[in-house]
Amino acid sequence: MKTKIASILFLLFGAMSASAHYLWIETNGKGVLGQVQEVRVHYGEYTYGVIEKVDGEAFPAVSKFTLWAIAPDGTKTELRTEAKEDHYLASFTPSQNGVYTLALNNNEINVIDYTEYDFGIFKTHYHSTAKILVGTDGDTKTINAEGIAIKQLKNDGKEIKLQVLYKGEPIAKNELKVYVSDLWSKTLYTDDNGEVSFSLPWKTKYIVETTTKEEVPGTYNGDDYEFIWHCTTYCITQ
């Protein structure tokens, strides 16, 4: 049983000394009124080329997520997902000009014991967002009042400006990773307002990840945990 648990932990989180698995949302960054917009949910490590199969060992443990499309006026629509080979597929049709925010939340992940890897016993909370621009630019929306979230701020197109929020408040000096394929990554830190900016030198896909630990013990599904590990991602496609 111990061997099985250790195997699942590596599939879920990889080696904590390197980067860990995460959920992310992929979609076309630009949408058109009245045209269907496809949305894909992946799990793995993009920069390492690891994309887990939906019916594999790792993905089912994090598949109880909820996915929304948030319209420019703040209206939330829950999206139905369909399991594909290596992602969940959803779609919706934009009906307003402005910025649509796609938001995924998963706070239903069982407690796992990582004490033999010096990380402790913890519960995981995943959150992911992506932006779809339909005409007029603006900020993305945030809805994760119980955890960490990335908000993209309106920008001039020369660089991306993000703000990291934890329980609705800016989180300063928090490490943030920007990933591109083929093992390229960049480490940044948020300023006192929880903000960070960076350029996009290549026409490719970028995945931003940031995490924080909530050092509060609790119980979930009958299992005690020492802290909650919050992880959020933001996917930019050009």
Q: What is the mean pLDDT of each run of 10 residues along the chain (238 residues)?
A: 41 46 96 98 94 96 97 97 98 97 97 92 97 94 96 84 97 96 93 96 93 97 97 93
The distance of Cα 179 from the centroid of its chain, to the nearest Å, equals: 12
The residue whose two tokens read 């009245």 is: 34
Q: Residue 231: its pLDDT value, please?
A: 97
Measured CA to CA, the distance from residue 229 to residue 217 in angstroms comes to 11
Which pLDDT value is given to residue 61?
A: 95
| Region class of 135: left (phi > 0), else alpha (psi between -120 and 50), else beta | left
Give residue 157's pLDDT: 67
Contact 164, 170 (CB under 8 A): yes
Phi, psi of 4 (to 5 degrees): -65, -45
Per-residue pLDDT, 107: 96
Comparing CA positions, the residue from 207, 90, 214, 89 lying closest to residue 150 is: 207
Domains and CATH numbers, the chain: 2-237 (2.60.40.10)
pLDDT for the residue 159: 87
Q: Is the pTM of this model over 0.85?
A: yes
Distance from C-alpha of 183 to C-alpha of 198, rounded to nearest angstrom = 18
DSSP 139: P
What is the distance between the alpha carbons of residues 162 and 152, in angstroms, rounded to a whole number?
A: 4
* Contact status, residue 234 vs residue 128, Cβ threshold 8 Å: yes
Tell me, what DSSP letter sits at residue 71?
Answer: -
- Of 148, 56, 36, nearest to 103 by C-alpha is 148
